Chain A
Amino acid sequence: MDHLSELENKSIFIIREAYYRFKDIAVLWSIGKDSTTLLWLCRKAFFGKIPFPVIHIDTSYKFPEIYAFRDEYAKKWNLDLIVGKNEEEIKKGMGPTKGAKLDCCNELKTNALKATIARHGFKALLLGIRRDEHGIRAKERVFSPRDENFKWNYEDQPAELWDQYKSTAEEDNHFRIHPILHMTELDIWKYVQRENIPMTELYFSKNGKRYRSIGCKPCCSPVESEAATVSDVIHELETSHTSERAGRAQDKEDAYTMQKLRSLGYM
């Protein structure tokens, strides 16, 4: 079996385990490449029709392209879409510029998600996180129990052997389940290419810039890139070495520093 098929089968196995275990389950969809790939895998696992809700947490600050893509594919893929929104805070004017950025994320993302989980009584969530995203993610289990405060006790995680995922214990409030944990950013794009998975155009270069990861409009900045197609993106990833989350603020800082040094005759 080839590499991508191996990854795909592993993911489908996990998704089916999760659904067997939890009927009150949902998948979190940010419309980004990882969660869209996860959605695609869910469709494959269930022969086209995802038998549980798809949650989109809407901070109201998303790119217009994100909303358009969400609505188009929610319809095409016949998704049971739940939009989670902290209306109260949004009305009060919470935003990355008004309050501190962390408060904004906390209110509009974390609390909106908590409220959505509580309202629908979900016991498990499928999430499209990957081990290579950040060091701490490398430590995730596939089935990750969380207590009621969403706390992840990374120090004392259950053993996870041979695709035997932990059963539910009393103190487990809900489970985070990570079916694409084993994929890398490059794997995702290669799989997107092979499967021809639709992606929002934000990922592709326009006027020399594209987004490497997408989220809320005010807090994302594009990276310099000429990659206008999936194969361009793959080529770019294969030849560059910066990790994706760094792509945001760091680029700006480096460019500023170089410009400053040049203005004083260095470089």
Chain B
Amino acid sequence: MEEKTLHIVIVGHIDHGKSTLVGRLFYDTGCLPPDKVEELKRISAEMGKELEFAYMMDHLEEERQKGITIDIAHTFFATPKRRYVIIDAPGHKEFLKNMITGSSQAQAALLLVDISQGIKEQTRRHCYILGLLGIKQVAVLVNKMDMVDYSEASYKAIRAEIGSVLGKLNIKPAYIIPIAARLGDNIAGKSDKLPWFKGPTVLEALDSFSTNEAQTTRLRFPVQDVYDVDGEKTAVGRVESGVVRKAQDVYILPDGTKGRITAIKQFMRDDIGSATVGECIGVTSGSALKRGQIVVDEVSSTITDTIRANIFWLIDKDYKIGIPLTWKCATQEAKGKIEKIHKRFDPASIEVVEEGAKEIRPAEIAEVEIKLDRKVVIDRFSDIPEMGRFVLEHMGHPVAGGIII
């Protein structure tokens, strides 16, 4: 089995079968503990249904009653190839912040479309967000094929529709798979009811995805804190990009001071020569470091107090130009506000609602210009994602996520 776990997010319109699919994946991979099966049966029986996989994910009574998943829920399953963490993103518009929270942790996405309903508003919204979040590995699952008697013609019709909608959103699905989640068709095993479909099952599609994210070689080491380790000021943090080496010459941004890595430290490890992406380390460099500084190998970052970005508005209150915000990116934090709203659009329709707007409304996406009270270090999201995405807070509450363009 592969060492790495793939995080997948499942998105789609409410009622298109997300929770059912998740329950199925668990059941069919034998990853459901017997007591969970019992619980599932009990709940299904109490609800008067034979075996309702949807209840796997919907753990809270309230959700069961509403029949929706209100929050991201992580669950684990495995195929012989690797382990998966499923993030069951919810379907309701008002829970968009949960969908985004879930999707922000995903490396691949399953997009569910109910064959009888096609791509609905919510699905478009979710696709748009997946596109913005840079999730490239996407499989579309055309669900409820049993409702159309497993008709190839119906599948072909919806496949064309999906292709045209996703094309506009810059998503190129790896597969478009006809399934019946409730009955397990094409989930773990090839369905004999869909002999005309030659593509992979859902599990095969997942196994074909990669856990490796594109990595850049440029060093980005945001300083998280400074500790006193054996009498030495040591800057701790996580390497977000590239490699840091002992005796390496570096720049400390945003000031641009030069420095040299004199030691790399981890507890109970001696003489560390280098550390790579994802590693939490401490470094000494001769110069005094502090949180929020970014250690880089060469100055290829942008150092600026003005940021142009696409942001998605997470809360159910409007934003009006000028309201103060806190900008958080890696370990950097700065005060500021949105100065310009170039465009705001409703991702559900993929249409621009207004240009040169004065406010952003709940669940909208906007292309904005943010003005900060000091210079910060950024990269474009497409170059170094870790340094190209940020969160905006207002009075201590996260209100938006953003992607630097």
Whether A161 contacts B104 in the complex (CB less than 8 A), given A131-B74, A138-B75, comes out as yes
Beta-carbon contacts under 8 Å, A203-235 to B: none
CA distance A19 to B280 in the complex (A): 15
Beta-carbon contacts under 8 Å, B324-381 to A: 326, 328-329
Q: Are B227 and A47 in contact (CB under 8 A)?
A: yes
- B266 in contact (CB, < 8 A): yes
Q: How far is the CB of B359 from chain A (nearest CB, A)?
A: 20
- B389 in contact (CB, < 8 A): yes
| Number of chain B residues whose Cβ lies closer than 8 Å to a Cβ of chain A | 61
- A160 in contact (CB, < 8 A): yes
Whether A6 contacts B4 in the complex (CB less than 8 A), given A13-B224, A138-B59, A154-B71, comes out as yes
Q: Are B101 and A1 in contact (CB under 8 A)?
A: no
- Among A20, A135, A170, A241, residue most surrounded by chain B Cβ atoms (within 10 Å): A135
Query: Chain A, 13-36, contact with B by CB distance < 8 Å: what is the 0/1 string?
Result: 100110110000000000000000
- Among A20, A47, A161, A169, residue most surrounded by chain B Cβ atoms (within 10 Å): A161
Q: Are A132 and B75 in contact (CB under 8 A)?
A: yes
Q: Are B398 and A160 in contact (CB under 8 A)?
A: yes
CA distance A221 to B74 in the complex (A): 28
Whether A47 contacts B59 in the complex (CB less than 8 A), given A154-B71, A243-B36, comes out as no
- A259 in contact (CB, < 8 A): no
User: Which residues from A are CB-within-8-Å of B73?
Assistant: 135, 138-139
CA distance A194 to B98 in the complex (A): 35
User: Which residues from B are CB-within-8-Å of A72?
Assistant: none
Identify the stretch in B27-35, B149-157, B243-251 within 8 Å (CB) of chain A at 4 or more residues: B27-35
Q: Are B98 and A132 in contact (CB under 8 A)?
A: no
Contact with A166, one of B62, B85, B100, B398 (Cβ below 8 angstroms): B398
Beta-carbon contacts under 8 Å, A223-267 to B: 241-243, 246, 250
Cβ-closest chain B residue relative to A195: B268
User: Which residues from B are CB-within-8-Å of A43?
Assistant: 267
- B9 in contact (CB, < 8 A): no
- A184 in contact (CB, < 8 A): yes
CA distance A168 to B59 in the complex (A): 28
Q: Are B3 and A139 in contact (CB under 8 A)?
A: no
- B70 in contact (CB, < 8 A): yes
Contact with B401, one of A134, A159, A166, A170 (Cβ below 8 angstroms): A159
Contact with A3, one of B5, B280, B326, B389 (Cβ below 8 angstroms): B5
Q: Are B314 and A243 in contact (CB under 8 A)?
A: no
CA distance A134 to B60 in the complex (A): 11
Whether A241 contacts B265 in the complex (CB less than 8 A), given A139-B72, A160-B398, A162-B389, comes out as no
CA distance A131 to B225 in the complex (A): 27
User: Which residues from B are CB-within-8-Å of A47?
Assistant: 227, 229-230, 234, 265, 267, 282
User: Which residues from A are CB-within-8-Å of B282?
Assistant: 47
Q: How far is the CB of A241 from chain B (nearest CB, A)?
A: 5
CA distance A43 to B268 in the complex (A): 10
Beta-carbon contacts under 8 Å, A25-61 to B: 43-48
- Contacts beyond the supplied A154-B71, A159-B401: 13 A-B pairs with Cβ under 8 Å: A6-B278, A44-B268, A47-B267, A136-B60, A138-B72, A138-B73, A157-B71, A160-B101, A161-B101, A162-B401, A166-B397, A169-B397, A241-B34
Interfacial residues, chain A to chain B (CB-CB below 8 A): 1-3, 5-6, 8-9, 12-13, 16-17, 19-20, 43-48, 131-132, 134-136, 138-139, 154-155, 157-162, 164, 166-170, 172, 182, 184, 241-243, 246, 250
